[in-house]
Amino acid sequence: MSKAACLTTGIFCVAFAAGAQVGPGQLTLHSVDDAWAVAVKNNPTKHLYDLNVQKANIDYKTAKSFLYPSVTASATGQDNLKIAVTPVPGEIVNQPGKTLFLKFGKQYVYNGGITIARSIFNWQAMAQARVAENNISLNQAEADAYVQVLKQQTAQYYYTALVAKASVALSLKDLTAADTIVKITQQRLAEGLTDATAVNGALINYNQVLANKLQSQQLLDESLQSLHVLLGMPTNDSLVLTQQLGLQAFEDVATLNLGIDKNLQVYPHQLKAAELNTKVQKMAYAPQIGVSSYLGKQQFRDDFGLGFGSGAWSNYQYIGLSVSVPIFTGFATQNKIRSAEISKSIAEEQYRAAKQQASASDSIVLLRLASYKAVCKASADNFGLYYNNCELAKQKFDEGLVSADVYLKGFQDYLVAENTHLNNLAALFSNYAVILSRQ
């Protein structure tokens, strides 16, 4: 496996206490904690989750508005173009035996006043208010879960960038050694002390190390650009990471308890929302009781206009009680209740499945962490041994005690050991990043 392929899976987490420094068009990070702080503060998606929480709070206040009376001021004017005729018995006006068709009312009628209404019992509105209240907790849980994901993603790109930077530094050293081998083999070929195969082998090693260096640099640049997005930074600003990652970083991996997965904390609120929605639909059968009152004035005129003199307006007031009981809604309410109950069952199954999956995943993370620590120690030891063998082979090659093939083989083994150790570190810190993000 090439060095670049190993690095793409690398998630390296070694935290040091320090603070982020911001300069003109530049952000300097000294630790993963600095990266987390900036991401939580500036990440655009995190801002959207915060806005959803604010919106849920406002929606809850709106849902509770049924507790308060509504007050409405109104003014109307009416022109009775044709006043209705009402038949009345003539006895009323001393004309027995006749039926008279009389007009009652005035041509112009004006009304002005205030209407006060309040719902006394509205069980469905009460249930909807509880749904809105639960939505606050649901949106906050979703925001917390996203912060956990954001921290994990930020750590991934942060430590991948550190590994890529360390890999570039190693590649430069390897490149120097590979270049030296090429020059020595070319010199010995000219002296007739070796053949073209050794030169070709040295050139192949040099080209491979150069390719690894270029790929590592590309990975470093891509990781920094991904961090720009997560940290909410302009793409033109520069990002500087001062932390250095050593090949013995596995020794810094502490044994920590795996915290609660905040993604699981979303499901109980979703289940409660489904339960409350079922109650909302059932409350559609409940009667609604309300009271209303009107306090106003009336004016009747035969001619167009308004008067404001004494006695021009007459009082018009009333109070009323309303009771509304749904009897038949075309089975719509019944079907809504059945749909809500199915949604509740779906939420229960999703929560149960999520808990099972999370339990299995957590166990795997802990098992892998212990296993990879031991594997990393072994690969680190092997890497040191291969490095020593490569140095010994170089000394013997310089003294003419071994052929170029022996030295090239030792150098190739050293590169393989280096990549193997990086791969093991990647697997270790990939699991460790999950644990750190849940502390």
Q: Is 121 helix (H, G, I), strand (E, B) or coil?
A: strand
User: pLDDT tens digits for 425-436?
Assistant: 877 877 888 888
| pLDDT (0 to 100) of residue 216 | 86
| pLDDT (0 to 100) of residue 3 | 45
Residue 378 contacts residue 250 (beta carbons within 8 Å): no
Note the residue count of the chain.
Answer: 439
404 domain residue, yes or no:
yes
Q: Percent of the chain, pLDDT > 90?
A: 42
Which CATH number goes with the domain that contains 280? 1.20.1600.10
252 pLDDT band (50/70/90 cuts)? confident
Q: Across-strand partners of 116? A: 71, 293
User: pLDDT tens digits for 299-317?
Assistant: 998 888 888 888 889 999 9
144 domain residue, yes or no:
yes
Instruction: Output phi, psi for 13, to 5 deg.
Output: -125, 95
Among 96-105, 236-245, 302-311, 323-332, the range with the most confident prediction by mean pLDDT is 236-245
57 domain residue, yes or no:
yes
Question: Is the overall model pTM greater than 0.85, yes or no?
Answer: no
Between 195 and 241, the higher pLDDT residue: 241
Q: Does the pLDDT value for residue 232 go beyond 80?
A: yes
| pLDDT (0 to 100) of residue 59 | 94
Q: Does the pLDDT value for residue 1 go beyond 50?
A: no
HSE-up (13 A, CA, CB side) for residue 7:
30
| pLDDT (0 to 100) of residue 5 | 42
82 domain residue, yes or no:
no
Q: Does the pLDDT value for residue 10 go beyond 50?
A: no
Q: Does the pLDDT value for residue 251 go beyond 90?
A: no
96 domain residue, yes or no:
no
How many domains does the structure of the chain reveal? Answer: 1
Between 58 and 123, the higher pLDDT residue: 58
328 domain residue, yes or no:
yes
Q: Does the pLDDT value for residue 134 go beyond 90?
A: yes
Within 10 angstroms of residue 257's Cβ, the number of other Cβ atoms is 9
Strands (E), 192-310: 238-241, 288-301
88 domain residue, yes or no:
no
Residue 37 contacts residue 22 (beta carbons within 8 Å): no
**Mean per-residue pLDDT over the chain, rounded:** 87
Q: Does the pLDDT value for residue 17 go beyond 60?
A: no
Q: Percent of the chain, pLDDT > 70?
A: 95
Strand 238-241 to 26-29 pairing: parallel
User: pLDDT tens digits for 62-119?
Assistant: 999 888 899 999 999 999 888 888 888 888 878 888 888 888 888 899 999 999 999 8
307 domain residue, yes or no:
no
Instruction: Output phi, psi for 432, to 5 deg.
Output: -65, -30
Question: Which range marks the domain in which residue 428 is found?
Answer: 3-69+122-287+324-437
